[in-house]
Amino acid sequence: MKLTPIEKRSGLTRKEFIEEYLKPKRPVVFTDLVKDWPAVQKWTFDWLRETHGSIEVPLYDKHIHDPDKYFKPAKVMSFGEYLTLIEQGPVDLRMFLFDIFKKAPELANDIRFPTIMDGFLKGYKYVFFGGEGSITGLHYDMDCSNVFLTQFQTRKEVILYAPDQGPRLYQLPFTVMSKVDPINPDYEKYPAMKGLQGYHTILNHGETIFIPSLWWHYIRYIDGGFSLALRANDSPLTFMRGAFNLVRHTFVDHGMTWALGKTWHNWKHQKAAENASKVMEEDRLAGKNLDEVAV
């Protein structure tokens, strides 16, 4: 498995971004896209706790995507208590896809939608909070939007893979998810991972990563912290693909899970392994030595 550092750029113009990154679907980290946002200086742990600490927030643990617990909160507590918790050290509780602006609309005054491209979905602004060591497992976003993820105060590790790497990631059929671990790859169980080609960065305070539509991402909280995701579409086809994913996941995957349970679960993993085997056979025919590629 090979991971290439993601470029970090300052002063990117709209034209440069569109030609060099948006059109070819290449990730990039902006070091200064949000430098004029009041939130960059204003949104500290202390300030959020003092001004919005009484908000009740749903929290999710590592079982968030388990079939029997899908998107069910593991706990609910006050925002202030949670901020204190993640400041103190490792904890497996995250705020996931939480629209804090509905609870505290005045916070919207502290951000600006970028002009780096058109198509920003102004009704979809989500914050993600997590404790040190918590992770967001490998997936691509179901709505297929381009994502601009801005980090505040602390650090996150981000690993990305292009859409064509899905078979090597053992993508589970009828989902946008993978169960492999890119940090500690199990090559014995998932041998196709040896041929993976991915991208890697450490996202710091005030930096924004552009995650292109359909790109796989894995995120690890190096420190307890938080980020804001803005979404943008550059093609009507994105809406259609997102709607297809929603139907496929809601009616097919959830329906079959309800009807067949473990049998459906096992079939998805078996099919993922078969798809990975086809890619490895293509590698063999092309003369690739994956043992030399893996790192």
Residue type at 256 in one-letter notation: M
Neighbours of 291 (CB within 10 A): 9
CA distance 220 to 213: 20
The pLDDT score that the predictor gives to residue 293 is 52
Cα atoms in the 13 Å half-sphere on the side-chain side of 181:
9
CA distance 178 to 169: 6
The pLDDT score that the predictor gives to residue 247 is 79
CA distance 146 to 117: 10
- CATH no., domain 2-247: 2.60.120.650
Q: Which of 110, 208, 114, 198 is nearest to 156 (CA)?
A: 208
CA distance 180 to 283: 20
Coil, helix or strand at residue 13: coil
How high is the mean pLDDT in each 10-residue block of the chain (295 residues)? 96 97 97 97 96 92 58 85 92 83 93 96 90 91 93 96 96 92 95 96 98 96 94 84 79 85 92 95 82 54
Nearest-10 Cα torsion for 249, 64, 108, 214: -40
The pLDDT score that the predictor gives to residue 69 is 45
Task: Report pTM.
Answer: 0.91
The structure tokens 């709607």 sit at 243
Domain residue limits, the chain:
2-247
